[in-house]
Structure 1
């Protein structure tokens, strides 16, 4: 993967990240659950001519060794990471769970972005429904399903790990998430999902990480519910794939967009895994936000 491995200090350690280089405004790229910074490689390669993209590994993912002890740490970390990067008015892009992460960090006042881009990562339920849904994610059956479907927490020796990676590459074309992704990118993302521990490799995230981040408190000020968008004042672009998690709730997404000026809904013919399967289209959307930022800045300077 093209890029420089960096570390971004947070409250209790560091986040692993990839700085893809380039010049201009900062663009923070935040992956979804089960993915890692490598998922953004093809998007980032199309951005570096006009901006500087950096992708993070969230807690429990990729090469970040920190795990979550509570449901908010993973998105609160983004405030620390942005402080280290010291960017002026960055563009924040999040896919799936990463879409909520950038939204929550901004809603909590931990980030002051020029714009948010949320890729199939909206939260549409009210607070009560969201709490019930998160409780359902933490049941033994739900966690076992994740373990079985994605091998979360699986331990393997070198040979078994590499055999699994190559199997994922071979089967990518028929996989509901990876169909359409570049095989080499599938390999990079899958390899990065394993962390070395002693003489074994561990597939990340473990189900314990999922249990921790879904233990949302009813008393939380910022909660993964639709009212979080009322706290945003920056421009918001929502990318909604036709085969994504929220395609059937388009009217609700439209209502979020229509609730405030400076918001856009962009429909895209894709499955949920837009960063890996439609990188050129997503990069074009991000570059549009970068150019809008520059135009706004130039207008304010004038």
Structure 2
């Protein structure tokens, strides 16, 4: 085999191996995941408590819960240099449990439509909003939209009225909204919300309300996407290399083998 043929053969084989390696699939890149953040739920006294997990920091808890570092330190008497311990219980805030009122309003969260009595009217309206509690604080913010695929049940305790609805409905103009039960008899009602699978409640899901003539009452119920359900939504990033490089590499390997065979035959015949 001549020196020139040997160089060509070596070059072709090396190029083929290089392009074949470049075309091989890269291993999937594992997405970095922190310990799942359990959805905090208000207790009977309205306090939202969280138990510190392994790897938690005050910064991470603030980022996930939406409560500022300064507020967390103030609520829990923590200094700038204090370090959280696994199993430590900290206060995230107050959800504001239902309080007795002078009017007929009972609430599972925040009442945004005040109840008003109208003389001479024997019916009222109850609106129910099951919202996506993004920060898990049990208090509905404007950007927290209705949760789909759940169910709302409104039942008068003496069987005067009973009805159900999906947690989201469409208005006449096509806008997605939440259900309102209009012109229903006055009485004492149980309102229950069944949240969809994959969500955890951040408020009570059952509340009683006394409906007076002319009342228009809105009740808010919070639910937050669970850590497991959120993880399933996130795409898993996978690496990959171009298949064209693989084809080119195979071609160069074949060319190198062909040059080698040709050089071998020429050497023997010479």
Normalising by structure 1, we get a TM-score of 0.22
Normalising by structure 2, we get a TM-score of 0.24
Asked which structure has the greater CA Rg, the reply is 2
Higher RCO (C-alpha under 8 Å, 6+ residues apart)? 2
Hey, which of these two has a bigger chunk of strand by percent? Answer: 2
Hey, which of these two has a bigger chunk of helix by percent? Answer: 1
